[in-house]
């Protein structure tokens, strides 16, 4: 039986975890991610980071990568090294580890890997200035929650996420590729999949990386057969196994 991974990049850890559990994997991106050329915005974020922001919030590895790509080499590391009292937060352990490699310490992560839960967590702290590199379709939970609490959000879009123009290989038929489960790591993945699949083959399992993505599946008229307990590749693979073991 095969499991479909459809996000734009960084499918390797999920694929390894699934294969370690004896499952075959089909990697077929339904999304495309690209840099938004915004060097002035990237520099603005860096300047606030260097000169007094209270928080650096990184919502994804992509946000960090595409922000860093538009700055001089080592700029974020240097800024982190010179700041005392800066708090750093990230969504998901992979994102936290990415910012740790640049020198961040004591990275705060929410119990659930969503911007909504992170925003609620940050709202318990004193209001301050938040540096937030973001994507074109980022959830608005962080500014919508924190601005009314007196926070200042310094945000710039550094990458964009789009549904692929050319239909994915599995768009015509999931059955032809032996797909028995589909993994969704974001609401945007749900929307992309729904673009090419209005109906589902009987018996297909849908697995969500968290409650927010499960809600997106419900909005599309589908039900998550399993929800990962956290956003790690291991937890997601365990959720796939649970879904496949459930009788139909």
The string of pLDDT tens digits covering residues 56-109 is 999 999 999 999 999 999 999 999 999 989 999 999 888 999 999 999 989 999
Rounded to an integer, the average pLDDT of 52-59 is: 96
What domains are there in the chain, each with its CATH number? 2-30+164-245 (3.40.50.10090), 34-160 (3.40.50.10090)
Among the listed residues 8, 92, 19, the one whose alpha carbon sits nearest the alpha carbon of residue 241? 19
Q: What is the reported pTM?
A: 0.87
Q: Let me know: does 79 contact 45? Beta carbons within 8 Å.
A: no
- Provide the pLDDT for residue 161: 95
- Provide the pLDDT for residue 232: 87
């Amino acid at each position: 039986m095969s499991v479909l991974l459809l996000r734009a990049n960084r499918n390797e850890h999920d694929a390894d975890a699934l294969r370690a559990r004896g499952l075959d994997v089909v990697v077929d991106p339904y999304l495309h991610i690209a840099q938004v050329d915004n060097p002035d915005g990237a520099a603005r974020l860096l300047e606030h980071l260097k000169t007094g922001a209270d928080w650096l919030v990184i919502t994804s590895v992509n946000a960090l990568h595409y922000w860093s790509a538009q700055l001089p080499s080592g700029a974020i590391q240097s800024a982190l090294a010179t700041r005392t009292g800066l708090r750093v937060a990230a969504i998901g352990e992979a994102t936290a580890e990415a910012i740790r490699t640049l020198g961040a310490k004591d990275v705060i992560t929410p119990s659930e890997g969503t911007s909504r839960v992170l925003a609620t967590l940050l709202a318990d702290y004193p209001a301050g200035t938040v540096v937030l590199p973001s994507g074109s379709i980022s959830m608005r939970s962080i500014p919508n929650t924190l601005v009314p609490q007196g926070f200042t959000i310094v945000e710039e879009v550094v990458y964009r996420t789009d549904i692929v123009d050319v239909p994915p290989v599995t768009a015509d038929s999931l059955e032809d590729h032996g797909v028995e489960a589909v993994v969704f790591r974001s609401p945007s993945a749900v929307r992309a999949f729904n673009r090419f699949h209005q109906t589902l083959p009987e018996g297909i399992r849908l697995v969500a990386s968290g409650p927010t993505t499960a809600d997106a599946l419900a909005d599309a008229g589908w039900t998550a057969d399993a929800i990962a307990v956290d956003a790690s590749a291991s937890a997601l693979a365990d959720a796939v196994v649970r879904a496949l073991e459930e009788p139909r």
